[in-house]
Amino acid sequence: MSDPAPSSVIRRKLSPTPAAPLGEAEDAALWREVLPKAAEAQQDLPLSVISVRARRTDPDTFAAAIRDNDLILSLTGTGGGAGLAVLDPVALRALTEILTLGDITTSDVPERAATATDAALAADALNGWLASLGDEAGEAQPALFSMSAGAHLPGSRAARLSLKDVPLEVLTVELDFGGGLRAGVVTFATPPGRSAAVRHHASPACLSAPVTLQAELTRFDLPYGRVRAMAVGDVIDLPTSALASVRLHGADGQTAGRGRLGQSGGRRAIRLGAASPPELTRVETVATPAVDLPDIDLPEIPAAPLDDMTPLDPLPEEAALPDLPDIGDLPPIDGLPDLEAP
């Protein structure tokens, strides 16, 4: 009789990773301290952290738990890591209300799918929060703090396809919005591990070479007509979260890092945070060489002679219109003011 142990080991390796029970996250105290301050400074949002729970699970189990009305955002990191951020409808409603209306209401949350506008607003807020958490966490920090929220994923299937077949560290953050007006959940799923600052070795001559950096506050689109009409003194509104997501660009245009705009000693300053993910470079299209096509002999189609065309019947004559009666002079209208000649 054969030993069944090898087959049981294979079945155990192929089976989904069971979800570990929720426990208090290692960085829960950091979330409770930093996140309310970041939300107040960046979105003028009264927010408090109810709980921060951590667990491990597999991508299939995580994707299966995503609901139809959840907002799903991709997360990308500096080391090529990929993850997800999921906002439940209540958290999404609170964010969109404070960012569009300037206040949080108690109206019912509509049953609808998240839109691209929702995704853009939420991603901007999450990136500001993660940057603030990364600033306070220091060099050795969770990989999540060095990630950026980006693309809107339309559903759980797209979410699953974006994840690698590795276990996930899941962080469930329960938030109170507006002092008890709404309570929602934001869930992060990332590959396991912590990130640390990478220091490169270089020669003294290289280290003394000058490097030019440009600090970019934000990017936005405007209609061409408005740009043409711009004049000195015009005011362009920028999101408050832009102060916490300043990007530093090198001479090659790549993002070298990011930070927060502030002041030091009475001068403008940038406090550096976690590095941003590498940006995609523009790829120039290559013209396709011309290809000589072989000549094809096509038969000639004779034109139809005009004499063989059937003439059209003449249109019937229309009856003459009757004369309109004379309406005479219009009655005078009293009380109208005299208009001055130009």
| Encoded tokens for 1 | 């009789």
The whole-number pLDDT of residue 180 equals 93
Q: What is the pLDDT of residue 265?
A: 75
In a domain, 137, yes or no: yes
- CA separation (Å) from 176 to 45, 118, 130, 197, 253? 10, 19, 18, 33, 39
CA atoms of 342 and 287, how far apart (whole Å): 63
Query: Is residue 54 assigned to a domain?
Result: yes
Spatial distance between the Cα atoms of 242 and 215, rounded to a whole number of angstroms: 12
Residue 194: half-sphere exposure toward Cβ, Cα within 13 Å: 11
- 3-class SS string, the chain: CCCCHHHHHHHHHHCCCCCCCCEECCCHHHHHHHHHHHHHHHHCCCEEEEEEEEEEECHHHHHHCCCCCCEEEEEECCCCCEEEEEECHHHHHHHHHHHHCCCCCCCCCCCCCCCHHHHHHHHHHHHHHHHHHHHHHCCCEEHHHHCEEEEEECCHHHHHHCCCCCCEEEEEEEEEECCCCEEEEEEEEECCCEECCCCCCCCHHHHCCCCCCEEECCCCCCCHHHHHCCCCCCCCCCCHHHHHCEEEECCCCCEEEEEEEEEECCEEEEEECCCCCCCCCCCCCCCCCCCCCCCCCCCCCCCCCHHHCCCCCCCCCCCCCCCCCCCCCCCCCCCCCCCCCC
Q: Going by C-beta distance under 8 Å and a sequence separation of 6 or more, which residues neighbour residue 182? A: 90, 91, 93, 94, 104, 106, 176
**Number of structural domains, the chain?**
1
> What is the reported pLDDT for 282?
44
d(CA 153, CA 86) in angstroms, rounded, equals: 10
Q: How far apart are the first and last CA of the chain?
A: 114
Residues in the chain: 342
Per the domain annotation, does 40 fall within a domain?
A: yes
pTM score: 0.54
Q: Residue 199's Cα: distance from chain center in Å? A: 31
In a domain, 209, yes or no: no
Residue 84, domain member (yes or no): yes
**Closest by CA position to 152, among listed 194, 184, 124:** 124
Tokens of 255: 């993002």
Domain hosting residue 23, numbered range: 18-194
CATH number at residue 122: 3.40.1550.10
Asked, for residue 78, whether it belongs to a domain, the answer is yes
Q: What DSSP character marks residue 241?
A: G
Per-residue model confidence (pLDDT) at position 260: 80
**Structural domain contains residue 218:** no
Residue 284, domain member (yes or no): no
Using the structure block, give the residue that is written with the tokens 């960046």: 42
The reported pLDDT for the residue numbered 280 is: 40
Neighbours of 95 (CB within 10 A): 28
Mean pLDDT for each 10-residue chunk of the chain (342 residues)? Answer: 45 46 79 94 94 94 95 82 92 94 90 92 93 82 85 93 91 95 95 54 63 79 86 83 75 68 78 53 48 64 61 65 61 54 49
Who's near 47: CB < 8 A, 6+ residues apart? 35, 36, 39, 40, 175, 176, 177
